[in-house]
């Protein structure tokens, strides 16, 4: 996806939280917001000189992005975000599908006890829970093919990536589970307070592109659709991809596979089911629909900054890059677990392609950087 965006002329920055160990057990949910989206967007604005950023939040990252929007609105702060994208992300946890069988007070208390012992929830516990939701595909097929038949698992990049489990710090994870899956407090205006500000997701505004996956067993597509009803002051375009939580999102147009649905009259839809009835099916990847939407909300092509490392002032934050890591037009380097980014790389179009953009220029400007 990063390469695809770069090929379209966009400058892309990526960040992900560090897998915590016991030393970070007291890290709070608000720290994920302040040290995550709020800190990163400052760095991006410093590097690019752009006033606005087009953020993308995936799964829990999308929930965190929603809370960040609401937190900024509650304080009357300048919102550095322009057009936001939510990929398989939930704000309303009233219907979480089959995951609900694992969520109740005794099970949350059991997980909290485990987290007290380690400082975090072991990623294998979370993986086992999600694998159990699709036991035939993710458990028993491996038992039969690998153990009973002795077949070597085929090389599959998405499963290799999926095997890299994620963790959250104890305090933050407990807060997240209780206020989402157990009590669904984020959709109750003012019920949750973060850094002295009441959170009201109905205050999310601006343009939004949200995408769900038809066969998603973690974030049901109809729950991802609820952003249409929650963000009342926002203009939402919702797309539904086929396949699941990961494969539905990672579908390069170059593969010539996939199907997605959009409903141009989605404003009139009162429910996800009504939206689906009026949605039109399209062959191919939803990425093309997304980038067409994103292009209208991005600035003109501009020259990339000379060096992210040299143009970022030291504000006591961890640096995105070490000085010398970059030369103009080179991809950023990052240690494992850090915050990787891509910047200023020439678009990779075949020679002679008339639609090739100027590799010295990137999308940006006053209307935002993705």
pLDDT of residue 83: 97
Q: Quote the domain boundaries for residue 135.
A: 123-162
φ/ψ (deg, to 5) at 104: -160, 175
Catalytic residue positions, numbered: 59
Q: Is 288 helix (H, G, I), strand (E, B) or coil?
A: helix
**pLDDT, tens digit (0-9, with 9 covering 90-100), for 69-104:** 999 999 999 999 999 999 999 999 999 988 888 788
Query: Is a pLDDT exceeding 70 seen at residue 267?
Result: yes
pLDDT of residue 168: 87
**Average pLDDT of the residues in 225-239:** 95
| CB 218, CB 60: distance < 8 Å | no
**pLDDT, tens digit (0-9, with 9 covering 90-100), for 322-339:** 333 333 333 332 223 333
DSSP letters for 44-103: HHHHH--S-B--EEETHHHHHHHHHHHHHHHTT----B-EEEEES--S--S--GGGGGG-
Strand duo 233-241 + 205-213: pairing: parallel
More confident residue, 290 or 111: 290
In a domain, 343, yes or no: no
Query: Is a pLDDT exceeding 70 seen at residue 367?
Result: no
Of 83, 45, 368, 366, nearest in space to 205 by CA:
83
In a domain, 180, yes or no: no
In a domain, 158, yes or no: yes
- Cα 216 to Cα 85, 205, 245, 306: the distances in Å are 18, 26, 5, 41
Angle of the 105-118 helix axis to the 170-177 helix axis, nearest 10: 170
C-alpha 206: how far from chain center: 17
Q: What share of the chain is helix, strand, coil (3-state, %, to 5)?
A: 40, 15, 45
In a domain, 66, yes or no: no
What's 205-261 look like in SS3?
A: EEEEEEEEECCCCCCCHHHHCCHHHHCCEEEEEEEEECCCCCCCCCCCHHHCCCEEE
Question: Could you tell me how many residues make up the chain?
Answer: 370
Q: How far apart are CA 244 and CA 283, in angstroms?
A: 16
**pLDDT, tens digit (0-9, with 9 covering 90-100), for 174-183:** 999 999 999 9
In a domain, 131, yes or no: yes
In a domain, 103, yes or no: no
In a domain, 92, yes or no: no
- Asked whether the whole model's pTM tops 0.85, one would answer no
Q: How far apart are CA 124 and CA 138, in angstroms?
A: 14
Q: Tell me how many domains the chain contains.
A: 1
**Residue 283 burial by CB count (10 A; 0-12/13-18/19+): exposed, middle or buried?**
exposed
In a domain, 101, yes or no: no
């Amino acid at each position: 996806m990063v390469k695809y965006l770069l090929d379209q002329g966009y400058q892309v920055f990526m960040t992900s939280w560090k897998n915590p160990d016991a030393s970070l057990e007291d890290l709070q949910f608000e720290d994920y917001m302040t040290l995550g989206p709020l800190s990163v967007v400052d760095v991006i604005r410093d590097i690019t000189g752009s006033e606005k950023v087009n953020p993308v939040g995936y799964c829990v990252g999308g929930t965190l992005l929603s809370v960040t929007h609401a937190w900024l609105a509650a304080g009357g702060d300048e919102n550095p975000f322009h057009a936001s994208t939510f990929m398989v992300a939930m704000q309303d946890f009233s219907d979480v599908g089959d995951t609900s069988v694992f969520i109740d007070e005794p099970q949350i208390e059991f997980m909290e006890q485990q987290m007290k012992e380690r400082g975090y929830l072991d990623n294998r516990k979370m993986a086992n829970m999600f694998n159990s939701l699709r036991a035939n595909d993710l458990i028993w097929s491996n038992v039969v093919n690998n153990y009973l038949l002795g077949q070597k698992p085929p090389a599959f990049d998405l499963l290799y990536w999926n095997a890299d489990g994620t963790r959250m710090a104890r305090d933050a994870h407990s807060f997240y589970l209780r206020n989402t899956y157990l009590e669904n407090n984020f959709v109750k205006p003012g019920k949750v307070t973060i850094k002295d500000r009441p959170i009201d997701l109905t205050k999310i505004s601006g343009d939004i592109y949200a995408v769900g996956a038809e066969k998603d067993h973690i974030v049901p597509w109809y729950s991802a659709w609820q952003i249409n009803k929650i963000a009342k002051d926002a203009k939402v375009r919702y797309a539904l991809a086929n396949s699941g939580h990961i494969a539905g999102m990672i579908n390069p147009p170059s593969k010539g596979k996939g199907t997605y649905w959009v409903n141009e009259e989605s404003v009139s839809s009162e429910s996800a089911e009504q939206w689906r009835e009026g949605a039109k099916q399209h062959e191919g990847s939803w990425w093309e629909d997304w980038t067409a939407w994103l292009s209208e909300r991005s600035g003109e092509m501009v020259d990339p900054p000379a060096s992210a490392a040299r143009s970022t002032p030291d504000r006591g934050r961890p640096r995105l890059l070490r000085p010398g890591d970059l030369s103009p037009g080179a991809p950023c380097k990052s240690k494992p677990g850090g915050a990787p980014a891509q910047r200023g790389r020439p678009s990779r179009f075949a020679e002679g392609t008339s639609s090739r953009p100027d590799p010295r220029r990137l999308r940006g400007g006053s209307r935002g950087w993705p």
